[in-house]
């Protein structure tokens, strides 16, 4: 299937790549079908592109790439809504915000992770009250070291790419 969007032109997508989000994302309830693909080769960042609204795309990450000791608990209700029966069948990602001109200050929404059942591609954004919706991705003490290695890739992310336009 072909998907038209405003950032990437025409994308070829297989039906089994489509993520169906029950209720959409917070603030974007009308977009319930998405595709996810890498921002760049060997990148921890991904694009989450709406299939229904071509102008809506988010930058997302696997939060475990940044926070190895992170634990999310998915309620029985949320698990049932996406037919999730086993923990190993889940994929979790979080939305990223990159402030204009300050990629070192990028943050992710750990309070609103998106949980996807990898078997049926059904997903849902859940609320996790014990985490921050504006968690820094890179600790202050590591910013200089990290940005020497990734500055070229991340600095190219335009501010309008952090939110739906």
Residue 154 within a domain: yes
Residue 43 within a domain: yes
Q: What is the DSSP string of the chain?
A: -EEEETTTEEEE--GGG-EEETT-BTTBTT--EEEEEESSTT-SEEEEEESS-TT-EEEEE-GGGT-TT------HHHHHHTT---GGGEEEEEEEE--TT-GGG-EE-TTS-EEEETTTTEEEE---TTS-TTEESS-GGGHHHHHHHHHHHHHTS-GGGGS--
Query: Would you say residue 34 has pLDDT above 90?
Result: yes
Say how many domains are in the chain. 1
Query: What value does the mean pLDDT take over residues 100-109?
Result: 90
pLDDT, one tens digit per residue, over 70-98 is 999 999 999 999 999 999 999 999 999 99
The pLDDT of residue 140: 76
- Whole-number average pLDDT of the chain: 85
Residue 88 within a domain: yes
Query: Would you say residue 144 has pLDDT above 80?
Result: no
pLDDT, one tens digit per residue, over 126-138 is 999 999 999 999 8
Query: Would you say residue 151 has pLDDT above 70?
Result: no
The pLDDT of residue 162: 39
Residue 27 within a domain: yes
Query: Would you say residue 146 has pLDDT above 80?
Result: no
Residue 33 within a domain: yes
Identify the CATH number of the domain in which residue 46 sits. Answer: 2.30.290.10
Domain membership of residue 128 as a residue range: 2-158
Residue 12 within a domain: yes
Residue 165 within a domain: no
Residue 163 within a domain: no
Query: Would you say residue 165 has pLDDT above 50?
Result: no
């Amino acid at each position: 299937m072909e998907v038209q969007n405003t950032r990437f032109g025409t994308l070829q997508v297989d039906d089994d790549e489509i993520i169906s989000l029950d209720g959409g994302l917070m603030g974007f309830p009308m977009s319930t079908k998405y595709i996810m693909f890498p921002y760049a080769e060997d990148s921890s960042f991904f694009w989450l592109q709406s299939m229904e609204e071509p102008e809506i795309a988010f930058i997302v990450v696997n939060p475990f790439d940044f926070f190895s000791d992170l634990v999310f608990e998915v309620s029985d209700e949320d698990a049932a809504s996406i037919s999730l029966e086993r923990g190993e069948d889940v994929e979790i990602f979080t939305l990223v915000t990159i402030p204009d001109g300050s990629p070192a200050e990028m943050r992710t929404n750990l309070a609103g992770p998106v949980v996807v059942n990898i078997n049926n591609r059904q997903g849902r954004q859940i609320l996790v009250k014990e985490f921050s919706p504006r968690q820094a991705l890179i600790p202050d003490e590591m910013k200089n070291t990290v940005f020497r290695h990734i500055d070229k890739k991340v600095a190219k992310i335009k501010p309008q790419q952090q939110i739906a336009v």
